[in-house]
């Protein structure tokens, strides 16, 4: 991860929201979306396999993912401020999931029954449904009460702290900048 690349390693819904740091949009083009999907690895394996067959992400997928991102961010922001989430955000996240419901397909492999969730439809619809489902899992789960905003002045990223004293989105991103700023304040000539 670099200062300009997406922050990854948080719950999928937070990774999605964090693709919009400050004024940048890290999911502005199909190529950027494809790169982010690849960064997510197994968490979006269903879409990666299907996307390989259907071709690269297109502008419809970018629009769908950005819409889910904005609604997820609005719901999280409301929660962090102690306010109810916007009704439109909840409705949009539910609609995205309904557009490509997960169906458990029964299979047989090496003498054993298998079951796997599959979604059908265009890549944009499947991807939006997967990301809306991840947002639902985060928002309705117990981890939501631990989600925090980075304390750096110029950062808007969110994280789920593994340690209660964590204050920054990343020790190499904002944490390092804060430590350097404190050092310069302590050692600046009077």
pLDDT at 3 over 60: no
Contacts of 146 (CB under 8 A, 6+ apart): 160, 161
3-state SS class at 97? helix
Instruction: Count the domains in the chain.
Output: 1
pLDDT at 173 over 80: no
Q: Dig out the tokens for 165 from the structure.
A: 């004293």
In a domain, 174, yes or no: no
pLDDT tier at 1, thresholds 50, 70, 90: very low
In a domain, 62, yes or no: yes
What pLDDT sits at residue 176?
73
Is the pLDDT higher at 84 or at 47?
84
- pLDDT tens across 64-112, in order? 999 999 999 999 999 999 999 999 999 999 999 999 998 999 999 999 9
What pLDDT sits at residue 168?
85
In a domain, 173, yes or no: no
Q: Dig out the tokens for 138 from the structure.
A: 């985060």
Contacts of 5 (CB under 8 A, 6+ apart): 26
Per the structure, the complete domain to which residue 92 belongs is given by 12-144
In a domain, 80, yes or no: yes
What pLDDT sits at residue 155?
87
| CB distance 4 to 25 below 8 Å | no
In a domain, 49, yes or no: yes
Pick from 68, 74, 3, 76: nearest CA to 33: 68
Per the prediction, the chain carries an average pLDDT of 88
In a domain, 113, yes or no: yes
In a domain, 170, yes or no: no
pLDDT at 130 over 60: yes
In a domain, 169, yes or no: no
Contacts of 59 (CB under 8 A, 6+ apart): 30
Residue carrying structure tokens 């190529």: 31
pLDDT tier at 188, thresholds 50, 70, 90: confident
Say which range, 25-39, 90-104, 156-170, has the weakest mean pLDDT: 156-170
pLDDT at 62 over 80: yes
- Output the pTM of the full model: 0.85
């Amino acid at each position: 991860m670099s200062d300009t690349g997406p922050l990854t390693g948080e719950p999928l819904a937070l990774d999605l929201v964090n693709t919009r740091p400050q004024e940048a949009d890290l999911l502005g083009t199909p190529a950027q979306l494809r790169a982010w999907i690849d960064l997510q690895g197994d968490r979006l394996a269903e879409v990666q396999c299907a996307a390989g067959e259907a071709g690269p992400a297109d502008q419809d997928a970018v629009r769908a993912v950005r819409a889910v991102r904005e609604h997820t961010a609005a719901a999280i922001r409301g929660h962090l401020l102690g306010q109810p989430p916007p009704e439109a955000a909840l409705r949009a996240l539910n609609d995205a999931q309904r557009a490509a419901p997960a169906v458990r397909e029964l299979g047989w492999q090496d003498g054993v029954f298998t079951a796997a969730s599959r979604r059908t439809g265009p890549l944009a619809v499947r991807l939006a449904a997967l990301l809306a489902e991840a947002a639902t899992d985060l928002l309705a789960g117990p981890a939501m009460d631990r989600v925090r905003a980075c304390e750096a002045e110029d950062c808007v990223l969110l994280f789920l702290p593994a340690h209660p004293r964590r204050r920054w989105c990343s020790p190499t991103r904002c944490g390092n900048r804060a430590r350097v700023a404190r050092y310069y304040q302590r050692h600046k000539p009077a």
